[in-house]
A and B are shown apart, each in its own frame.
Chain A
Amino acid sequence: MLSFTIQRIGLAVLILFVAVTAMFLMIRAVPGDPVQIMLGPRATPELQALLTAELGLDQPIWKQLAIFYGNLLQGDLGIDVFSGRAVTDIVFQQLPHTLWLILASIVWSAGLGIVIGAYAAAHPNTIIDRIAAAISVSFVAVPAFVLALLSLLIFAVHLQWFPAIGAGDGFWGALDHLVLPAFAIGLSWVGYIARLVRASMLEVMGEHHIRTARAFGLSERRIVMVYALRLAILPVVTVIGVGMGFLLSAAVFAEIVFARPGLGKLVIDSITTRNYPVVMGAVLVSTGLFAASTAIADLLNAWLDPRARSAR
């Protein structure tokens, strides 16, 4: 288990290193002088030269990369072009909003998806199973941002059941503001997870140890809920880890549609003002978040599955 943990974390770090380096080189490769963008066209050549030196842009590229990594390891992602604040501070101020939104979406969608999937697997080919399957496919297909727009239109603008914009104050206020965006992001996941759990359940229910449990007279309820579900849930853990990437993407749209604070809104706002350090900082942090979540999911899976624990 320990060596597997080290290996998995090592892989995540390696991938992050390659990704971040690629991103850094990409920024440098793009035409356009960041100094000019930061200072505007009317800055004096002296001022431009000063900032160039300050940013280290007159150094060779490998040295720039080294400086960049040196700063990164100290948690320094650069300076906001306009406010002069540290990008790290700005990004981590917005991050919790996005994390809460993603967490809320996962909790409700995975919970409901597992229940539907387990029920469908316990009653395969019944009418309810068929309906669940058809709805699942449809939910999976519909993009989250269209759902966000439609739910904004119906539940916030027309019915006015839920607030349309912002993140809300206090626990209940925040929860009230989470409902619609979390609904829009999570709906496609309900179908996806239900399908996954159904397929996985049906496979597990056909395995020999289930027959053993039946031969010992265990109740069907116990067999499904404990003996089968414990196994069938394993792929869901992996999928949720990988799904963080999708959820992060969906959260960008939900934050725009519902005018919520968060990483997505930060990136979009910074793109429109050409505030590149903030854009890159936010993208970097979300990439790190994604890499971490897939690694955690793999480790969690290994922890939940004793076979994977000792196989590595």
Chain B
Amino acid sequence: MTEVLLEIDNLSVDYETGRGDLKALRNISFSLNKGEIVGIVGESGCGKSTLISSILRLTAPNTRFREGEVRFKGRNLLNISEQDMRSLRGSDISIVFQDPMQTHNPVLTIGRQMLDIQHRSSATKAEKLHRAAEMLSAVGIPDPQARLKQFPHEFSGGMRQRIAIAMALMSEPDLLIADEPTTALDATLEVQIIEHLRSLQQDMNCAVLFISHHLGVIAELCDRVVVMYAGAVVESGDVREIFGNPKHPYTRRLIDCDPGHIKERARVLPTIPGEVPDLANLPKGCIFRERCDQAMPRCTASVPPLQTIAEITGHRAACWLNHEEMAS
């Protein structure tokens, strides 16, 4: 029986800005089971970062949680005390950030930083250092004892991202959030890092929320995928079904534009024309309407709800086209 670990329930988040409220997230719902890997895909600005910082509650001061809940093991993280939230960070929920070059404190040694994040453990300093070295070798860093004494700038970008993964998994968290962990790295490194991440994930059986715009990585690594566009979920479901049979025009365009998908030599690389709508001033109807080549009058009239397409696989999409299909 699968057990739900994280449940995002109808979450809406605004940023209060000088030119009005920016509706960064609108009615986001999805869940993550224990030990499962879920991918989140979308262009930059689709609300991925807001979603992550909302889960960890590390949001900017001008953030307002308008409605919805973020339930972790049944507790709503949005209304527990800061004290309780802090005790979850780095122990039950860990994160690997996007840019490995700026993730670590430049004036403290890696050993010192890996020691500091074990602040909740009652182990001795030697035990903690041993644990740190163990984790470094688990992510494939040779000679870990010596490297603990080095500073971040003495490591390459790929090495630093391995260290970040080692740090995040050191407490054997139940949930790991990976925020585009390989975007800043080149392709060969990407494969290695993904391999380490996967093997450690299997050893520890932790759930992973994997954010990326690289569809190839998502397809390879994830069980399920959530497609986000302009602060809303447009499609979600089993990874094979989404990539094999996308039910939202945006997902379809994303797949078309993925370099891994383009088999023939194209004169012009396909792109999605148009721009993401202004989140402070949302247009009426479907948010993708203005960039959609299949838009209908109905799309302007009202927002399409996220509708279940296949019950067994949990495939859901938010597009009026599917309603037409089902009606006919």
Interface residues of A, Cβ cutoff 8 Å to B: 207-209, 211-219, 222, 226-227, 230-231, 234, 304-307, 310
Contacts and interface: CB of A to CB of B under 8 A. Distances in A.
Contact of A217 (B97, B102, B108, B120): B120
Given A209-B104, A227-B105, A231-B105, A215 B153 contact: no
Contacts of A215: 56, 58, 89-90, 94-95, 97
Contacts of B108: 226-227, 230
Interface string B83-118: 000111111001101010011111110000000110
Interface in B286-315: none
Given A218-B119, A230-B107, A306-B106, A211 B154 contact: no
5 contacts: A209-B106, A213-B105, A215-B90, A306-B154, A307-B107
A208 to B, nearest CB: 4
A216 B106 contact: no
Nearest to B164: A212
Classify chain B: how many residues form its interface, as a range: 20 to 34
B132 interface: no
A166 B242 CA distance: 86
**The 5 A-B residue pairs with the shortest CB-CB distance in the complex, in nearest-first order:** A216-B90, A217-B89, A208-B102, A306-B151, A217-B90
B167 interface: yes
Interface string B117-153: 1011000000000000000000000000000000101
A156 B106 CA distance: 48
B91 A217 contact: yes
A310 B153 contact: yes
B105 A209 contact: yes
Given A208-B97, A211-B97, A218 B106 contact: no
Contact of A231 (B91, B103, B106, B151): B106
A306 B151 CA distance: 7
Given A217-B86, A306-B151, A310-B153, A212 B107 contact: no
A212 B153 contact: no
A212 B104 CA distance: 7
B104 A218 contact: no
A2 to B, nearest CB: 17
Contacts of B153: 306-307, 310
A215 B91 CA distance: 10
A263 to B, nearest CB: 36
Nearest to A231: B107
Given A216-B167, A310-B154, A304 B107 contact: yes
A110 to B, nearest CB: 19
A216 B89 contact: yes
Contacts of A226: 108, 116
A207 B167 contact: no
A160 B104 CA distance: 54
B90 A208 contact: no
A249 B89 CA distance: 52
A236 to B, nearest CB: 14
Interface in B57-71: 58
Nearest to A212: B103
B205 to A, nearest CB: 21
A216 B120 CA distance: 10
Contact of A214 (B89, B94, B103, B154): B89
Contacts of A212: 97, 103-105, 164
A231 B102 CA distance: 14
A209 B108 CA distance: 11
A218 B117 contact: yes
Contacts of A208: 97, 99, 102-103
A214 B88 CA distance: 11
A305 B99 contact: no
A238 B56 CA distance: 37
Contacts of A219: 86, 119
Contacts of B154: 306, 310
